[in-house]
Amino acid sequence: TVPAQVQVLGKSYPKDATTNISSSIIDKLERRLHLQPSHPLGILRSLIESHWPAFTHLSDFSPVVTPARNFDDLSFPADHPGRSLTDSYYINKDYMLRTHTSAHEVETFAKGERKWLLTADVYRRDEIDSSHYPVFHQMEGASIFPANANGVHELQEDNARLSEYLRKSNIVIEDIPHITPTNPLQAGHDPSQAELVAQNLKLSLNSLMLTLFGGSNRGEPLRVRWIEAYFPFTSPSYEVEVFFNGKWLEILGCGVVLQSTLERAKIPGSIGWAFGLGLERIAMILYSIPDIRLFWSQDPRFLTQFQPGKISTFEPYSKYPPCHKDVSFWLPGAATLHENDLCDAVRDAAGDVVEDVKLIDSFTHPKTNRSSQCYRINYRSMDRSLSNDEANAINDKVIARLQESFGVEIR
């Protein structure tokens, strides 16, 4: 017998036991919001690209990758949770949707690109709320130098230029040491050059933060802080936070690229840094966009508010009333159900009118061992008012879907 097929971006793939990609996700693959010049994500991409005019700007990579590209190339351990079916979308055991733009580091370095930015849609299975959506957009940036005296010279010059620029700017930076025992130098790196690379990374990203957030701070200095982090593919690693509207916000992850990544790309004799940032996160802050679903809106009242090259404040065209429904069920036998699996089924059955989903109760019957869960699903359209009848009809579809996919018994 011929296995069932799934169509993704015009190609047909055989389904297998790992296939967990849903049709609402497949529909998103062609949208490419980051390439629309008047979409807030496209505007933000261009803004960051113009901050680094000399870098190569890439934005045309297919979201379908092998797990080797997404994980192994980047030295993810075999048991990393990101690989699991509850966290990532698999087309089948050989192909998946990239979970981050780092999936393209090795192939981009291998092409000979040394300074580049890469923008793309990325896919992760997650909970549903106003800041999580299974599709979002990231931008990866990297800069590589020769691991020799020429590279040291290039770094020293660039660091001097950037330090001078930051010294004259209205920014307050809470820094941490570049390299420490818990955030270590890589074996094989020259310690003084690794210091210069880490410094170049910090100076470069501090100036990006000024470009993005410096203008909207009403004359107050921009506050940026550096935090020690961990990624399987960088060392040392950091996170950057920016103080905005009274809160510290996590903006990006970055670090000194692991030498094994560069060796896989067949560019030994190099040393450099990489970062990855989430565009929705930053766009929601800069434009005051209150809900991540709005980026997918086709409503002209959303789309006509933005112009290329400009960061403006989004004017909500009105907030329609929410309508919540509680769904309680028994799972079959001794089955368990992961929240990400439930959320995916809900999103697939109901679409973007789901605003958030919360587990409000769960227990296991001591005698029968059966589990019961209750979720509160909040329905709200971005574009119009939902009647209670409409919400009920959508909720009925969700219930039918849960019965069909998980064999649940509604209580």
Token reading at 219: 């004359």
Report the alpha-carbon distance of residue 133 to residue 19 in Å, rounded.
20
Burial of 132 (0-12, 13-18, 19+ CB in 10 A): middle
CB nearer to ligand PHE: pick between 14 and 82: 82
CB 240 → ligand PHE: shortest distance, Å? 11
Using rule CB under 6 A, residue 253 touches ligand PHE: yes
Contact, 20 vs 92, CB < 8 A? no
Report the alpha-carbon distance of residue 163 to residue 157 in Å, rounded.
10
Among 42, 151, 255, 272, binds ligand PHE (CB under 6 A): 255
Closest CA to 121 of 310, 280, 286: 280
For ligand PHE, what does the binding mask look like between residues 221 and 250, x meaning CB under 6 A?
A: ----------x--x----------------
Angle made by CA atoms 36, 39, 40, in degrees to the nearest 5: 135
Closest CA to 174 of 219, 140, 206: 206
CB nearer to ligand PHE: pick between 88 and 234: 234
CB nearer to ligand PHE: pick between 51 and 376: 51
Among 198, 276, 287, 295, binds ligand PHE (CB under 6 A): 276
CB 234 → ligand PHE: shortest distance, Å? 5
For ligand PHE, what does the binding mask look like between residues 284 and 323, x meaning CB under 6 A?
A: ----------------------------------------
Stretch near ligand PHE under the rule CB under 6 A, chosen from 112-120, 241-249, 269-277, 348-356? 269-277
CB nearer to ligand PHE: pick between 40 and 253: 253
CB nearer to ligand PHE: pick between 254 and 345: 254
CB 253 → ligand PHE: shortest distance, Å? 3
How many helices and strands in the chain, by DSSP H and E?
11, 17
Place of tokens 């190609």: 11
Rounding to the nearest 10 degrees, give the CA dihedral for residues 356, 361, 363, 365: -110
CB nearer to ligand PHE: pick between 140 and 291: 140
Report the alpha-carbon distance of residue 228 to residue 358 in Å, rounded.
31
CB atoms within 10 A of CB 153: 12
Angle between helical axes of 388-406 and 339-350 (0-180°, round to 10): 130
CB 194 → ligand PHE: shortest distance, Å? 15
Report the alpha-carbon distance of residue 142 to residue 48 in Å, rounded.
13
Stretch near ligand PHE under the rule CB under 6 A, chosen from 17-25, 151-159, 162-170, 274-282? 274-282
Q: In the range 360-399, which residues lie near ligand PHE by CB under 6 A? A: none
CB 42 → ligand PHE: shortest distance, Å? 20
Q: Which residues, in sequence order, are CB contacts of 198 under 8 Å at separation 6+? A: 178, 179, 236, 256, 273
Among 29, 208, 262, 274, binds ligand PHE (CB under 6 A): 274
Among 39, 83, 100, 293, binds ligand PHE (CB under 6 A): 100
Q: With CB under 6 A as the rule, give the number of residues binding ligand PHE.
A: 11
Report the alpha-carbon distance of residue 269 to residue 284 in Å, rounded.
40
Using rule CB under 6 A, residue 194 touches ligand PHE: no
Stretch near ligand PHE under the rule CB under 6 A, chosen from 172-180, 252-260, 348-356, 396-404? 252-260
Phi/psi at 191 (5° precision): -55, -40
Using rule CB under 6 A, residue 254 touches ligand PHE: yes
Report the alpha-carbon distance of residue 175 to residue 158 in Å, rounded.
19
Report the alpha-carbon distance of residue 379 to residue 395 in Å, rounded.
9
Using rule CB under 6 A, residue 207 touches ligand PHE: no
CB 140 → ligand PHE: shortest distance, Å? 6
CB 231 → ligand PHE: shortest distance, Å? 4
CB 243 → ligand PHE: shortest distance, Å? 21
The footprint of ligand PHE (CB under 6 A) covers 100, 102, 140, 231, 234, 253-255, 274-276
